[in-house]
């Protein structure tokens, strides 16, 4: 998971994640990773429209967002 997050940071690629919050709620988020710090990372969360801090071990799944232009992949 850490390697995929680092790759998205390096290339500025958006990612969709499934995340478990501290209270056990599962959410889907679209993020732009901004930085790493130990076992956490900071990202801009498009769901909340603000910077948020996430625990790497709470990320259940990560999918890079593919950009489409004019319907062409």
- pLDDT mean across residues, the chain: 91
As a whole-number percent, the residues of the chain with pLDDT over 70 amount to 92
Contact 28, 20 (CB under 8 A): no
| Confidence label for 70 from pLDDT (cuts 50, 70 and 90) | low
Q: Is the dihedral of CA 55, 65, 7, 11 positive or negative?
A: negative
* 7/72: higher pLDDT: 7
Element (H or E) spanning 15, and its range?
A: strand 15-20
> Which tens digit of pLDDT belongs to each residue from 47-61?
999 999 999 999 999
> Which tens digit of pLDDT belongs to each residue from 30-43?
999 999 989 999 99
């Amino acid at each position: 998971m850490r390697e995929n997050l680092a790759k998205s940071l390096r290339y500025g690629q958006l990612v969709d994640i499934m995340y478990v919050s501290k209270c056990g709620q599962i959410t889907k988020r679209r993020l732009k990773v901004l930085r790493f710090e130990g076992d956490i990372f900071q990202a801009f969360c498009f769901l909340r429209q603000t910077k948020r801090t996430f625990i790497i071990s709470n990320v259940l799944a990560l999918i890079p967002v593919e950009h489409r232009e004019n319907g062409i992949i």
